[in-house]
């Protein structure tokens, strides 16, 4: 194994520095896209009864929505550089506060799903590659294909009907029980209980993807000469598979896991809505419905930064796994 | 239905505790309900995150549900839309219908222990409602003053008589007039005061926690000024945005109450048969709502009233009720709700008659072309209420039969509002309008010429009839209820003859409650009302 040298450290710094202008371009594009969408946030704010144009104009002025779009953009960028993401129109509180309050729930759900889908996907993929066209392989491939094709909102409903309504094993909604909230360990068990179905539903697509990729790459790698050589040298089979082959095969899988991170954030909108999970995905959904520009912009910015960070991290993981990768 | 006339000097005779409790007990006995008991947690579903926990910033249901439990109004409404005591125990109206004096409960206290006084009411109306409530501009300009005239006496003086004034004040949706603490808001911006998120009210329940995106928790106010109330220990409002999983949560008793319009109509028949649930077909009358097909009368074939009448004859509204609403609700036969029995008339409704529709279209000069078609129309609807989409499909199908080629346009809610109410870029549009608790509040703003404005939920049709405007203007000042009813029947006749909007259906009021809960819905605002009388007996 290589150790991460100073070169890698500087590489990471350079990548992060390069990300800064990228973030600003993203902010600009997001700003224009968000404001180009039809619909007026003040219509949502007033709710279900009529209001006079004067009142609507007053609301618009209050939130600075009456100013030319260029001025709004400049003001927004000036605030962003001070780490001020603005004030939510719909929730009437600072956007940063709002996002931070929703972050833990999403991280819990996403982290669980990411670990679950990666570990199980790589494991199953490896096993299937070792016994290609076996019953296990066929079963896993079929399941993966199904998992890959099922939309999350549909799968979520089916899972709820089977495991919640009929079998009564799991609750349908939320982070923990509201009727009789427990404390301490009881709370942790309660949260795990509530987490199971959304995390499973959320994992399926990624698990299928990682399984398929691992299987193909492992099969390719196992057929390579160095594996034959290792076996010929008398290296034990587990060592051949886990150390020699898997380490090589897993590289593209790591890339996909990193790339998937962005898609997982997008997928959290559906999962969190179906399971009433109080995370960022739900926030994004409600912000879109209300055309809450500051929250939308804030979320997009935070998500972009997260995706960029994960990409940098993926590169670092590369260097750790593959000694051939050297950053200068 | 309503005997007492407006404008008669009247003293609210109900002393809150005694009379109301007696009513509750009688009611319980009549339906064989168990006696009220202390304890229990009620979990109410919210369809989205509330904007705040108060009523002054918006008219969204998700905010009103917690707000009504945290605060008290001056008055409430009974099932006849007559005022009932809340913070105001009694009130008098001067014979000219201009001066209203409310006597507030002397023992009412804020959750922080300070007494509720007329000063709070004065501050709430002048500094909060008048300045920030979305609907205040509809009625506040008619207020001469609102002021405390004693420690517990509060007076509102109007410039011109306004017949439904008390009905409007008692309607949370119409006025948002929940009394707020002056000592908490004084010198702050009522839009951003932190108390909007952690309210200090006078109501039966106190604020505990708002976990954003998850739930709002309220706990029993042990020092509530109405004796022995409330019964429940806790109310939790659970934010559940997805309709299908929300229903599953209700079926698993993770949620106890699904309020009006978040119960999916296709499931009601099944839920009715299940003993674990109670289906309540009332408790939204004060916000009675009709589904309309709006018609843009500014140009094209729709500017001809004969064409609009032809559409009415061609559209099978019974079919929309049966297939769009799964047989719940009623066909709407007037722009006024049939629940307003004192004025409602269905005399001017249109029967399904395709031959007549064809004849009217021919007469209007829109003969069928060689391909059998007369002209195309666009029909817009907004996602979110499935039945509006199903109605659109049925309308398209019906109108094809008379040679009108309809293109359905589906938008998300805010895009729809932008197109229909701000840009007037539509031919036909499916839209709900409230018609209660009083037609002056809810019907007039949709059809008056003055309401042709680029703003949501007003007269987007561009319809103008000066005779009708004169009737609207006169009836709201008419304090004689009989004469007022007569005028409203004329208004309905004109609106059904000119037909700027075709009433399609009365949105069925259906709420779903877990077995064991009682008196969760007691009045015409049951979907958002204060749950001080709700109780749970296992």
Q: Which residues of A are less than 8 Å from B294 in CB distance?
A: none
Judged by CB atoms closer than 8 Å, whether chains meet at B52 and A285 is answered as no
> B400: number of CA atoms within 13 Å, CB side?
9
- Identify the CA nearest to B175 among candidates B130, B118, B119, B122: B130
Judged by CB atoms closer than 8 Å, whether chains meet at B254 and A175 is answered as no
Q: Which residues of A are less than 8 Å from B196 in CB distance?
A: 92
Contact B328, B268 (CB under 8 A): yes
pLDDT of residue A138: 87
Q: List pLDDT tens digits, range B227-272.
A: 999 999 999 999 998 888 899 999 999 999 999 989 999 999 999 9
Q: Report helix, strand or coil for B291.
A: strand
Judged by CB atoms closer than 8 Å, whether chains meet at B445 and A39 is answered as no
- The reply to whether A194 touches chain B by the CB within 8 Å rule is no
Contact B241, A273 (CB under 8 A): yes
Q: Which residues of B are less than 8 Å from A274 in CB distance?
A: 242, 244-245
Q: How far apart are CA A44 and CA A46, in angstroms?
A: 6
Q: List pLDDT tens digits, range B410-427.
A: 998 889 999 999 999 999
- The reply to whether A160 touches chain B by the CB within 8 Å rule is yes
Judged by CB atoms closer than 8 Å, whether chains meet at A282 and B213 is answered as yes
pLDDT, mean of residues B67-77: 95
Q: Which residues of B are less than 8 Å from A38 in CB distance?
A: 414-415, 418-419
Q: Which residues contact B152 (CB under 8 A, 6 or more apart)?
A: B103, B104, B105, B106, B117, B118
Find which of A47, A96, A201, A286 to mutate to test the B interface (most B CBs within 10 Å of its CB). Answer: A47
| pLDDT over 80 at B194, yes or no | yes
- In this structure, of B47-51, B64-68, B356-360, B503-507, the range with the lowest mean pLDDT score is B47-51
- The reply to whether A82 touches chain B by the CB within 8 Å rule is no
pLDDT of residue B17: 36
Buried-exposed string A216-238: b where 16+ CB fall within 10 A, e elsewhere: bbbbebbeeeebeebeeeeeeee
pLDDT of residue A3: 54
Q: List pLDDT tens digits, range B269-310.
A: 999 999 999 999 999 999 999 999 999 999 899 999 999 999
Judged by CB atoms closer than 8 Å, whether chains meet at A289 and B242 is answered as no
Band (pLDDT 50/70/90 cuts) for residue B30 is very low
Q: Which residues of B are less than 8 Å from A37 in CB distance?
A: 415
Residue A155 corresponds to which tokens in the numbers above?
């799968």
Q: Can you list the alpha helix ranges (DSSP code H) found in B252-338? A: 265-272, 305-314, 317-319
- The reply to whether B192 touches chain A by the CB within 8 Å rule is yes
Scanning B63-82 for CB atoms below 8 A from A yields 63
What are the two backbone dihedrals, phi and then psi, of residue B458, each rounded to the nearest 5 degrees? -115, -155
Å from B41 to nearest chain A CA?
7
Contact A54, A77 (CB under 8 A): no
pLDDT of residue B132: 87
Per-residue pLDDT of chain A (328 residues; tens, 9 = 90+): 445 567 777 888 888 888 888 888 988 888 888 888 888 888 887 777 777 788 888 888 888 888 888 888 888 888 888 888 888 888 888 899 999 999 999 999 999 999 999 999 999 888 888 888 888 888 888 888 888 888 888 899 899 999 998 998 999 888 888 887 788 888 889 999 999 999 999 898 888 889 989 998 888 888 888 888 888 888 888 888 887 888 888 888 888 888 888 778 777 888 998 898 999 988 998 898 888 888 998 998 888 888 888 888 888 887 777 777 777 6
Specify the length of chain A in residues: 328
Q: Which residues contact B236 (CB under 8 A, 6 or more apart)?
A: A178, A179, B41, B42, B43, B44, B215, B216, B217, B218
State the first-to-last Cα distance of chain A, in angstroms, to the nearest integer: 18
pLDDT, mean of residues B509-536: 95
What is the chain A residue with the closest CA to B252?
A165
- The reply to whether B39 touches chain A by the CB within 8 Å rule is no
Å from B147 to nearest chain A CA?
24
Q: How far apart are CA B434 and CA B457, in angstroms?
A: 10
| pLDDT over 60 at B94, yes or no | yes
- Identify the CA nearest to A124 among candidates A239, A253, A252, A313: A253
Å from A6 to nearest chain B CA?
43
Give the percent of chain B with pLDDT over 90.
78
Judged by CB atoms closer than 8 Å, whether chains meet at B238 and A276 is answered as yes
- The reply to whether A55 touches chain B by the CB within 8 Å rule is yes
For residue A183, cis peptide bond before it (omega within 30 degrees of 0): no
pLDDT of residue B236: 96
CB atoms closer than 10 angstroms to residue A161: 16
Query: What's the whole-number average pLDDT of chain B?
Result: 91
CB nearest to B242's CB, from A102, A273, A291: A273
| pLDDT over 80 at B32, yes or no | no
Q: Which residues contact B412 (CB under 8 A, 6 or more apart)?
A: A39, A289, B382, B383, B384
Contact B40, B233 (CB under 8 A): yes
Residue B518 β-bridge partners: B535
| pLDDT over 50 at B6, yes or no | no
Judged by CB atoms closer than 8 Å, whether chains meet at A274 and B214 is answered as no
Contact A277, A105 (CB under 8 A): yes
Å from B360 to nearest chain A CA?
34
CB nearest to B214's CB, from A53, A171, A174: A174
pLDDT of residue B487: 96
- The reply to whether A255 touches chain B by the CB within 8 Å rule is no
Q: Which residues of A are less than 8 Å from B421 in CB distance?
A: 43
What is the chain A residue with the closest CA to B40?
A179
What is the chain A residue with the closest CA to B176?
A49
CB nearest to A172's CB, from B41, B239, B249: B249
Q: How far apart are CA B239 and CA A281, in angstroms?
A: 14
Find which of A49, A54, A299 to mutate to test the B interface (most B CBs within 10 Å of its CB). Answer: A49
Judged by CB atoms closer than 8 Å, whether chains meet at B58 and A164 is answered as no
Å from A121 to nearest chain B CA?
28
CB nearest to A98's CB, from B59, B191, B212: B212
- In this structure, of A50-59, B191-200, B210-219, the range with the lowest mean pLDDT score is A50-59
Long-range contacts of B99-102 (CB under 8 A, 24+ apart): B99/B155, B99/B156, B99/B157, B99/B158, B100/B155, B100/B156, B100/B157, B100/B158, B100/B165, B100/B166, B101/B149, B101/B153, B101/B154, B101/B155, B102/B74, B102/B75, B102/B153, B102/B154, B102/B155, B102/B156
Rg (CA), chain B: 24
pTM of the model: 0.86
CB nearest to B196's CB, from A46, A92, A165: A92
pLDDT, mean of residues B8-13: 37
- Identify the CA nearest to B519 among candidates B13, B23, B75, B19: B23
Residue A103 corresponds to which tokens in the numbers above?
């972050």
- The reply to whether A47 touches chain B by the CB within 8 Å rule is yes
Q: How far apart are CA A219 and CA A129, in angstroms?
A: 5
Strand boundaries in B229-275, DSSP class E: 234-239, 257-258
ipTM of the complex: 0.82
pLDDT of residue A328: 65
Scanning B124-143 for CB atoms below 8 A from A yields 134-135, 137-138
| pLDDT over 80 at B320, yes or no | yes
């Amino acid at each position: 194994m290589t150790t991460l040298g100073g070169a890698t450290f500087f590489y990471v710094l350079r990548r992060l520095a390069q990300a800064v202008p990228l973030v600003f371009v993203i902010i600009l594009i997001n700003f224009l896209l968000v404001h180009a969408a039809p619909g007026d946030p003040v219509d949502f704010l007033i709710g279900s009864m009529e209001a006079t144009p004067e009142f609507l104009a007053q609301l618009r002025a209050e939130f600075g929505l009456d100013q030319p779009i260029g001025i709004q953009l400049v003001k927004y960028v000036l605030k962003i550089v001070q780490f001020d993401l603005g004030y939510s129109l719909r929730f009437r509180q600072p956007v940063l506060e709002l996002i931070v309050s929703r972050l833990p729930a999403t991280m819990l759900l996403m982290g669980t799903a990411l670990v679950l889908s990666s570990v199980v996907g790589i494991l199953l993929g490896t096993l299937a590659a070792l016994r290609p066209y076996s019953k296990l392989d066929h079963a896993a491939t079929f399941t993966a294909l199904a998992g890959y094709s099922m939309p999350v909102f549909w799968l979520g409903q089916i899972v709820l009907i089977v495991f919640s309504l009929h079998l009564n094993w799991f609750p349908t909604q939320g982070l923990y029980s509201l009727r009789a909230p427990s404390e301490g360990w009881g709370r942790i068990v309660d949260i795990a209980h509530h987490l199971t179905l959304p995390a499973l539903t959320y994992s399926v697509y990624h698990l299928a993807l990682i399984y398929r990729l691992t299987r193909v790459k492992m099969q390719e790698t196992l057929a390579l000469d160095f594996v034959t050589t290792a076996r010929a040298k008398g290296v034990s089979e587990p060592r051949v598979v886990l150390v020699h082959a898997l380490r090589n095969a897993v590289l593209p899988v790591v890339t996909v896991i990193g790339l998937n991170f962005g898609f997982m954030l997008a997928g959290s909108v559906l999962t969190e809505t179906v399971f009433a999970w109080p995370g960022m995905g739900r926030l994004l959904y409600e912000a879109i419905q209300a055309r809450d520009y500051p929250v939308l912009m804030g979320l997009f910015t935070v998500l972009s930064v997260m995706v960029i960070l994960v990409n940098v991290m993926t590169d670092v993981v590369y260097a750790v796994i593959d000694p051939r990768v050297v950053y200068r | 239905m309503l005997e007492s006339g407006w404008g008669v000097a009247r003293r609210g005779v109900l002393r809150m505790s005694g009379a109301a409790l007696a009513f509750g007990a009688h009611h319980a006995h009549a339906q064989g309900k168990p006696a009220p008991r202390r304890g229990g947690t009620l979990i109410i579903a919210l369809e989205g995150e509330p904007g705040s926990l108060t009523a002054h910033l918006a008219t969204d249901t998700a905010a009103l549900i917690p707000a009504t439990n945290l605060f008290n109004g001056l008055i409430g409404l009974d099932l006849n839309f007559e005022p009932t005591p809340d913070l105001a125990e009694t009130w008098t109206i001067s014979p000219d219908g201009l001066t209203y004096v409310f006597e507030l409960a002397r023992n009412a206290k804020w959750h922080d222990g300070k007494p509720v006084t007329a000063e709070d009411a004065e501050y709430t109306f002048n500094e909060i409602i008048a300045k920030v409530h979305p609907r205040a501009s509809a009625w506040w300009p008619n207020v001469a003053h609102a002021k405390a005239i004693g420690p517990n006496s509060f007076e509102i003086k109007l410039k011109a008589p306004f017949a439904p004034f008390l009905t409007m004040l008692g309607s949370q949706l119409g006025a948002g007039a929940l009394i707020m603490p002056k000592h908490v808001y004084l010198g702050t911006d009522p839009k951003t005061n932190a108390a909007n998120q952690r309210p200090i009210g006078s109501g039966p329940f106190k604020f505990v926690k708002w976990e954003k995106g998850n739930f709002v928790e309220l706990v029993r106010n042990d020092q509530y000024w109405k004796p022995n109330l409330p019964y429940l220990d806790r109310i939790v409002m659970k934010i559940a945005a997805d309709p299908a999983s929300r229903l599953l949560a209700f079926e698993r008793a993770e949620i106890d109450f699904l309020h009006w319009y978040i119960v999916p109509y296709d499931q009601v028949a099944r839920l009715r048969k299940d003993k674990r649930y109670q289906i309540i077909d009332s408790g939204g009358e004060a916000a009675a709502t009709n589904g309309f097909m709006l018609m843009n009368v500014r140009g094209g074939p729709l500017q001809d009233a004969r064409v609009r009448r032809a559409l009415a004859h061609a559209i099978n509204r019974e079919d929309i009720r049966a297939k769009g609403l799964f047989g719940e609700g009623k066909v709407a036969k007037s722009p006024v709700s049939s629940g307003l029995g004192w004025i409602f008339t269905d005399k001017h409704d249109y029967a399904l008659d395709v031959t007549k529709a064809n004849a009217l279209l021919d007469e209007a000069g829109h003969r069928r072309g060689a391909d059998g078609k007369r002209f195309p129309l666009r029909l817009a609807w907004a996602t979110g209420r499935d039945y509006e989409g199903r109605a659109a499909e049925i309308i398209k199908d019906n109108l094809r039969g008379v040679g009108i080629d309809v293109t359905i346009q589906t938008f998300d809610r805010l895009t729809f509002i932008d197109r229909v109410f701000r840009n007037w870029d539509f031919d036909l549009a499916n839209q709900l309008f409230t018609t209660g608790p009083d037609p002056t509040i809810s019907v007039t703003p949709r059809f008056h010429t003055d309401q042709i404005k680029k703003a949501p939920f007003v007269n987007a049709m561009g319809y103008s009839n000066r005779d009708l405007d004169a009737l609207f203007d006169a009836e709201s000042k008419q304090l004689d209820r009989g004469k007022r009813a007569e005028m409203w029947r004329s208004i309905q006749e004109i609106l059904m003859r000119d037909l700027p909007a075709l009433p399609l259906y009365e949105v069925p009021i259906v709420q779903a409650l877990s077995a064991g809960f009682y008196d969760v819905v007691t009045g015409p605002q049951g979907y958002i009302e204060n749950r001080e009388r709700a109780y749970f007996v296992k």
